[in-house]
Amino acid sequence: MKTILKTATCIIATLLVSCQPFHDAPQGPDQYLAGVHKTIDLNLDELFSSFGVGDYPEITSKLEYIISSRNFRASVVTYHTTDPFGNAVVADGTLYYPLDCEIRGVVEMSGIAHMNKDDGNSEDIPVLEALPVLAGYAVILPDMIGYGKFGNTKQMPHPFMIRNNLGKVAWDMRLAATEYFRKIGYNIPRSTIIAGYSYGGGVGLAVARYYQENHRNEVYVKRVVIGGGACDLNATFRGFAENPICTYPLLPGIIMSLDYYYNLDLDYHQIFQGPLADNYATWYDRTRNASGLVSLIGEDMRNYMHPDFFKPAEERNAEFGKLQPILNLNSAVDGWVPYMPIYLYHSTEDLYVPLEAANYAYREFKKAGAYIQYKSGPGTHADWGVETFAALLLHLAIK
């Protein structure tokens, strides 16, 4: 995925931004911002080194005369929000912004899915979602529930695609960011851009929907740029049933998360099969990464998902029947007509998230009369991450 920077930075090479330093501003009382726990200042060389771009002088040479002296800050913060049960919690997130340039706007990013609870975005600085800072934009990047070392949610399951909670946590992070930036003399504008790739694609769409349905008078989403995500879990299930090879075995963890937050009391011998049916609690305890899980269950879902998973929804067993209304409830697509333009990307050869997830979103939004541009084609999941981030950065550079 870090190869995304090769394309992204070439685009930014065309960008010239007027720069002036920030000055401290008076501080006011904070309602959402709980704390600032870690601050890391980066320059372009350090940013390139982190992403491995130093090995590509054909890229860095184009940037030397324009943004090589740009300095950035990453601040890890905590903020007050709620979990899916409605309980008050303190979550983590990261704010990225240029230190020596006027902030040109805000991009609200959604991160990729992390199997390991210790791999949250705020514990891996910098991350690819920080790329808009190269164009002079502030980046708001919430960890969401289930990650981060300074809040109190790391031991909780991440609420995978629980639509309203993802939106609520992102909104509360936005409010915390407003309080943070006010202290350095920057007022977050009403307009915003929402973006994300992989799991962040589905989350980004859920966040945009939440903003439209709950905060339309407070925030205006100018565009949504997403790719490679599970925008609709029903479509994702169908896609995996048709093409059951998956190199990023997140699905069992998604099911377990929905079981936890909706108290479904699933019989996992009717959900999984083989060794996973007996070992799911240990194997999916959020201490392993994707490769570790693949070594345990393999890439063919027919070896670990119950045979009923591969049937049409109405023919599945009663345990899948418990899941069905939850899948319906948490679609980021069904029953919604976005007012903002949607730019959607997905590989036709994706082995992380099936193509049907994107196809379904495109069909439904098009049918509803929404403005959506959809681009897909051959390549890996990572290749289309490049495509998605390049499109976002191109828009920011031109704007």
The model's pLDDT over 108-153, given as tens digits with 9 standing for 90+, comes to: 999 999 999 999 999 999 998 998 998 889 999 999 999 999 999 9
Same domain, 61 and 170: yes
Is 42 in the same domain as 188? Answer: yes
Q: Would 227 be classed as within a structural domain?
A: yes
What one-letter code names the amino acid at 97?
A: Y
Encoded tokens for 385: 């991450």
What six digits make up the tokens of 181?
A: 């930036």
pLDDT at residue 55, rounded to an integer: 54
pLDDT at 2: 46
- According to DSSP, the β-strands at 33-43 and 372-377 are unpaired
Residues 255 and 194 in one domain: no
Residue 29 and residue 48 share a domain: yes
Evaluate whether residue 237 is within a structural domain: no
25/101 same-domain check: yes
In a domain, 272, yes or no: yes
Q: Does residue 254 sit in the same domain as residue 393?
A: no
Chain centroid to Cα 200, Å, comes to 2
Tell me: do 201 and 260 sit in the same domain: no
- Of 209 and 26, the one with more pLDDT: 209
Helix 4-12 vs helix 381-398: angle between axes, to the nearest 10 degrees? Answer: 10
203 and 260 fall within a common domain: no
81 in a structural domain: yes
Q: Is residue 56 assigned to a domain?
A: yes
Q: Is 399 helix (H, G, I), strand (E, B) or coil?
A: coil
Domain span holding position 374: 4-232+334-398
Total structural domains in the chain?
2
**CA distances (Å), origin 246, targets 123, 188, 287, 291, 295:** 26, 40, 20, 12, 13
Take residue 333 and report the two structure tokens written for it.
């697509």
Residue 42: strand pairing partners: 72
Strand partners, 71: 43
Using CA atoms, how far apart are residues 52 and 379, in angstroms rounded to an integer? 21
Question: In this predicted model, what pLDDT tens digit does every residue of 8-24 receive, in sequence order?
Answer: 444 444 343 334 344 33
Burial per residue of 374-395, b for 16 or more beta-carbon CB atoms within 10 angstroms, e otherwise:
bebeeeebbbbbbbbbbbbbbb
Residues 72 and 209 in one domain: yes
**Could you tell me if 227 and 151 lie in one domain?**
yes
Q: How many CA atoms lie within 13 A of 307 on its CB side?
A: 0
pLDDT band at 5 (very low <50, low <70, confident <90, very high): very low
Distance between CA atoms of residues 342 and 132, nearest Å: 18
**pLDDT value at 363 more than 70:** yes
Instruction: Please work out, in degrees rounded to the nearest 5, the angle formed at the alpha carbon of residue 43 by the alpha carbons of 42 and 48.
Output: 100
Last residue of a domain, one of 313, 329, 345: 329
| CA atoms within a 13 Å half-sphere pointing along the CA-CB vector of 97 | 26
> Are both 73 and 176 inside the same structural domain?
yes
Q: What is the pLDDT of residue 128?
A: 87
Question: Within a domain: residue 238?
Answer: no
Cut 0.85: pTM above it: yes
Q: How many CB atoms lie within 10 A of CB 360?
A: 21
Q: Are 202 and 60 part of one and the same domain?
A: yes
> Which of 329, 344, 378 finishes a domain?
329
- Greater model confidence, 312 or 65: 312
Distance between CA 210 and CA 338 in Å, rounded? Answer: 11
Question: Among 3-7, 283-287, 330-334, 393-397, whose mean pLDDT is lowest?
Answer: 3-7
Q: What is the pLDDT of residue 13?
A: 43
Q: Considering 277, 307, 329, which residue would you say is the last residue of a domain?
A: 329
- For 25-84, the pLDDT digits (tens) are 345 578 999 999 999 999 877 777 776 655 545 444 444 444 534 789 999 999 999 999
